[in-house]
Structure 1
Amino acid sequence: MSPGRQTAIGLTLALLIVGGWLTLHIWGVFFQSLAWPAVALAPLLILAQSWLGAGMFIVAHDSMHGSLAPGRPRLNAAIGQLCVGAYAAFSYRTLNVCHHQHHRAPGSAADPDFHADRPEAFGPWFMAFFTRYFGLRELLIVSAVVGIYLFVLKASPLNMMLFWGLPAIVSALQLFVFGTWLPHRHEAHGADFIDRHNARTLQMPWILSLLTCFHFGLHHEHHSSPATPWWRLPTLHREGLRPASTEQV
């Protein structure tokens, strides 16, 4: 695929994901009624926003690998920072440095996204993963935005919790479970990886792969070809770049 076509497809999908997330965020926080019957839409809105929130990180992730817009590093960085900044004031530069270190030493003590002390434990690993990137800087910025929403824009506190806070937590869990923990965790009997990438692919139908984490469960394929954008990972999988040992989900 030519770089121009990949850029066109990647930017179009990024626009849909970011635009969808922003639209649902504004609607949910400022306009969604919690009275019957409108409140019946709340669970669907929360789930859609959670999924799109995970998508924001996947767009930023492709930016880190230069696969969103090949050959355009400034555009990649700008879109990446927009995505992670809008989501929860994360630093794209910090995420980028740590992610490339993750690729250099996946599943080792030198991997910032790996919990070497307990490589099978969900809770300790998730807390270490989350607190590595959401620190005092991010907390202060988010707190300032919360203050503006509440006291200047007069947003409903309950709407903010339901349609901003809850989707952010759910999408963070999505990203961690399907993009880090399941692909890189060790089983009770030890590691069962087939090569130096220390990553496994999660076998699931195409639609479930998309809905869980934008095909990021095809993790061995990603580590084997990090310059492949998320939307081409299923093609890579079908073409035969698949691990001999996989985990069923």
Structure 2
Amino acid sequence: MNFLQKHKGEVIAALVILSWGFSLWFLLHWPVNFYTPVPYFFVLVQTHLYTGLFITAHDAMHGVVSRNRKLNKFIGTLAAGLFAYNNFNRLLPRHHAHHHYVATGQDPDYHGGNFFVWYFSFLKNYITWQQLVLMAITFNLLKLVFPAENVILFWMVPAILATFQLFYFGTYLPHRGEHDAGNRHKSHTQAKNHTWAFISCYFFGYHYEHHDKPYVPWWQLYKEKK
């Protein structure tokens, strides 16, 4: 087994994290012209990379980023922290509760209300006042070095949009509504379209497949789609 095969999870995680970092560094220096579509396209790219940070942290919660447990936790902690100072140790038990009690009153990701009520509940469960304070401090430090519009457009806005992306494609669509009695994971799954599945949420639209085989990393999840 060569190095890449043995450490593919770590390599892919590093590519996601480094892509986010280099993209952000470039965009913070980039002169923004609001009268062209280019900056708005870059907002979407950065949003996708933010989502990738959380998906990487998510895979670490399932222990599938690295076979080395300490390295797996380090990568998960780093990826979660880069995404608006999320706390990996706080997220870990909540995510496993979601898997154990999916779509029940004990599921921290589930809410029986409408979309907006559910989204507010989702944010309330995952955003802490400590994160907000750290984000405010970081924003004020970054704008001392970079143009404020770049910081807002490429550091702050994509983090907010990625939260919505993760909720909509990774929680709301898969778990809303009624589920058949035979659906033991109480999860919907999107129609097979690997390109859209990757763009929308790193294949987590294939949500039944994820709940059925949580040990499969995101970059192999498409293989489980029959």
Shorter-chain TM range is over 0.9
Identical-pair percentage? 32
Write out aligned runs for 1:98-137 (5 A).
98-116=94-112, 118=113, 121-137=114-130
Deviations, residues 69-92 of structure 1 (Å, cap 9, x unaligned): 13x221111111111111101110
SS in 1 for 2:116: helix
Change (3 A) 1:96 1:34: same
Q: List 4+ stretches of structure 1 deviating above 6 A.
A: none
Give TM-score scaled by structure 1 length: 0.85
> C-alpha separation between the residues in 1 aligned to 2:5 and 2:66?
7
Give TM-score scaled by structure 2 length: 0.93
> C-alpha separation between the residues in 2 aligned to 1:122 and 1:81?
29
- Give the superposition deviation at 1:159: 1.1
- Give the superposition deviation at 1:9: 1.5
Write out aligned runs for 1:195-210 (5 A).
195-210=183-198
Aligned equivalent of 2:41: 44
Does structure 2 retain, via aligned residues, the 8 Å contact 1:88–1:138?
yes
Aligned equivalent of 2:157: 166
Aligned equivalent of 1:78: 74
Does structure 1 retain, via aligned residues, the 8 Å contact 2:53–2:80?
yes
SS in 1 for 2:64: coil
Aligned equivalent of 2:32: 34
- Determine which of 52, 56, 60 is the counterpart of 1:55: 52
Change (3 A) 1:77 1:35: same
Does structure 1 retain, via aligned residues, the 8 Å contact 2:179–2:187?
no
Aligned equivalent of 1:180: 171
Does structure 2 retain, via aligned residues, the 8 Å contact 1:6–1:68?
no
Structure 2: any 5+ residue segments left out of the alignment? none
Residue type at the aligned position of 1:23: F
Size of the alignment, in residue pairs?
225
> C-alpha separation between the residues in 2 aligned to 1:160 and 1:193?
48
> C-alpha separation between the residues in 1 aligned to 2:34 and 2:111?
45
Cα RMSD for the two superposed structures: 1.8
Aligned equivalent of 2:133: 140
